[in-house]
Structure formats: structure tokens, C-alpha cells
Amino acid sequence: MKNWHCLVGILLITTLTLLLEIPADTWLTSATLSLILGTTALAYMAVSCLLASRWRVVEHLFGGLDRVYDTHKWLGIWALVFASYHLVFKANLDVWNSVPIMELSKYWTRMVRQLSYVALGMIVLLALNRNIPYSVWRWWHKLSGPLFLIVILHWLSFKSPITLFSPAGIWLSVLCALGVVAALYKLLLYPFVARAGEYRVIEVSSEKAALHLTFAPIGKGFDFKAGQFAFLSFKEKGLREPHPFTIACAHRENGQLEFVIRALGDYTKTLRERVKVGMVADIYAPYGHFKRPSGAAKEIWIGAGVGISPFIAWLQDPLGERFDKATLIYCFNPARAFPPAEQLQGVAEQRGVQFMANSGGTAQLADHLRQLLTHTAPETVHISFCGPKGLLQRVRELMREHGVPAQNLHVELFEFR
């Protein structure tokens, strides 16, 4: 499922169920549009809570937790846009015979209406503000679930043609119930019931603002596939906030895990300064569906910066095959390359993977792709990419130039927040 499938699907279902509740001659009015957009904003918030739960069924539906979080973000943005229209334009007409599902005083009905918009605005603005330290942002964002209850109360208390057991009422009730359950699960139960393992740091190496950590399980570890990621939560003050990092190794019999972490933000910089052998962390995993394509005549792997991590895991995968069909392009800044290109080249050559070091930016990347696609049918090439959005855009442009179908690109989204 893609972002627009979710956004448009919810909008269409909400619209159709609402139009059944009101006279056809009032459909083309600003009040009807306001009612549709306001109700859709509520539905978007409910589904957003559902997506934030990290439930496996939701991840499988979207093809990876990275895509779940991307859809989660856009649901919040469009919910705020729709709610803004709903706030400005009256969502009621006299001919609708509207009544509230839950009767409140006029004062509290208006107060809840205003608070619901403020709550939604706070949720979205906090989620999109990258200047807020992660430790502060995370705890503010945890309020999304409780604030969602205010929005539900607004729906129940304002006058509308929606009854609780009408098609629109049932649709909203189901979504809101699932959203509340998901929010409570994520807020209260997730640390206790999510799949996790307790691990101890057994090796730390740091170079060029990057960090390489090796963990050994305390007790039983967990199975995972090469290319998946995990949430790390250290049992140390200031490092407890769970952060997602790609597992930079394949599954091992001894259960050990490796991570390559770039010190870019406040959390990762603090982690690089403070982490040491012997520290213990809870690792929630596995997540993600970034796996090699099956049946591709030629594979091109493009890893940029710390985005090289899933490809390191692919190279180590003991169950991997068809390495002679793959080429790894490592895009890096020579001043910050970690792991070093020479080291990665040695690993690639051991598995029979062609290696290309790309320290010359997009111009050199274009040359590499041009070289690889010469005398090769573009439709048989599959490209796997993990890196910044700016470079991804350039990769898409180069694919179009060389006739590689857009559907032959598989991307691991680089940022969650």
C-alpha cells in the first residue's frame, strides 16, 4: 500500500458514507465539504494512531515500517489541512436535522471544538519540527494519543447528521476505537509485549564521526533477515529513547548484532561520546522489508553514507546468492567515510560483487550508472537504494534518462522523523 492509497481510500470511504446521511441537493455546498473534510481529518488521526503502533500486520500491509511512518506523517499533515477548512466553514445546514451524539453544554462544545484543532496543530507541528531535541520531541509526541481523545469528543459533541449507528457513524467508531487501542498499546504496553532482546555492548570502535557497535545477547536473541533494522534503547540515563538503526550484519549463530551509526543528531552525538563496552540495551526488532529482488538479471545497490548498512548485511548473508549479478556503488565523503571504501571493497570482492567507490558526487554516480547500463536491457535492471532524499531524486532522474522502469527501484526510506 502506498501513501496515496491510504489517503485517498479513507477520503473516499468517508465521503461516500457521509453523503448517504444528507439530502442530495445539499451535496455541492461548503457545509458538506466542511463536514467531509472535518470527518476525514478525524479518520486520518485515528489511522495515524493505528500506524504508530508498530503492529506487524500494519507493517506487512505497507511493505515496511519505514513506509508506515512516512504515511503516518502525511496523514497528520493532511488532517491539519482538512481541519483548517473545517474550522473556518460551518459544517451544518438547517435542513440536515443535526443532533449531537453526546450532549454537552454550549460552552464545553465550543471549548472542545477549539481544543481539538489546537491539539491537532500541536501534534503535527511538533512532529515536523526538527529543531526540537529528540528527547523532548519524543515525550511531546507521546501526547498524540491523549490529545486524540479530545478530537473524538469534538465529533461526539457537535451537531451533525451523523448518528452513531449510521454507515458514517459505524465507520468512524471502528476507526476511532482502533486508534485509541493502538495509542494506548504504544503508550503503555509496547515496552512489555513487543519483540525485544536484552543485549550487551562487547565492542566499540569510533572513527570520523561514526560509530561501530557490536552487541551480544543476554539470554536468547532474535532472528532477523539481512537488511532489517531495530530500535535501540540503552539502559543509561540520557540514552533510553528508542532510535531506529539498520542492523549492519547478517544473522549469526551466536546472536551477535552490529550497527554502524553516524553521529549526526543530538542523540547520536551523545551516544558516540558515552557508549562503552559493557553497557546494556533493549533492542526491539526486527522491522523493515528491505530485501533483495528475486529474479533480477542485474542488481545495482546504491548506499550513501550510513545508508550502506543494509548492503553490508546483504554481503554477509550466508543464504545470499546471485552475487555475480550485483554491483555495489558506495557513495561517500572521503573525509567521513565509515567503513572505509577499501575495507568494503574487500568484503564485496570476497562475495563476487562488483564494487564501485563513488566519492565524486552525482556526476560520478551518473558515469557509474551509464557504464553499468551499457549493453544491458534497462527493464532487466533492479536498483536498490538507501541514502538521503536529495540523492534519491537524482537516482530517479538517471533511471528515467536510461529507460529503467520506475517500479524497478526499491528504496529504504532514510529518515523517520
DSSP string for 363-408: HHHHHHHHHHHTTS-GGGEEEEEES-HHHHHHHHHHHHHHT--GGG
> What pLDDT tens digit does each residue of the chain (417 aa) get?
788 999 999 999 999 999 999 999 999 999 999 999 999 999 999 999 999 888 889 999 988 888 898 899 899 889 989 988 988 898 889 899 888 988 888 888 888 888 888 877 777 776 666 666 666 666 667 777 788 888 898 899 888 899 999 999 999 999 999 999 999 998 888 878 887 889 999 999 987 778 899 999 998 888 898 989 999 999 998 888 888 899 999 888 888 999 988 877 778 888 988 999 999 999 998 898 888 888 788 999 999 988 899 999 999 998 888 899 999 999 988 877 778 889 899 999 999 999 999 988 888 999 998 888 887 888 899 999 998 888 899 999 999 988 999 999 998 875 655
| Phi-psi sector, 386: left (phi>0), alpha (psi -120 to 50), beta | beta
DSSP H helices, 63-132, are 65-88, 106-128
| Architecture field, domain 196-287 | Beta Barrel (2.40)
Strand segments (E) across 208-277: 210-217, 229-234, 243-246, 257-262
Query: Which fold does the domain 3-193 belong to in CATH?
Result: Four Helix Bundle (Hemerythrin (Met), subunit A) (1.20.120)
191 — phi, psi (to 5°)?
A: -60, -20
Q: Where in the chain is the domain with CATH 2.40.30.10?
A: 196-287
**Which CATH number is 298-412's, of 3.30.465.10, 3.40.50.80, 3.10.180.10, 3.30.230.10?**
3.40.50.80
The CA-to-CA distance between both ends of the chain, in Å, stands at 20
| Residue of 202, 254, 260 whose CA lies nearest to 229 | 260
Q: Where in the chain is the domain with CATH 3.40.50.80?
A: 298-412
- Which residues lie below 8 Å from residue 384, measured CB to CB, with a gap of 6+? 290, 292, 293, 299, 300, 301, 302, 311, 409, 410, 411, 412
47 vs 158: CA distance, rounded Å: 21
What would the grid cell of residue 265 be?
543528531
197 vs 216: CA distance, rounded Å: 10
102 vs 324: CA distance, rounded Å: 66
Q: Where in the chain is the domain with CATH 1.20.120?
A: 3-193
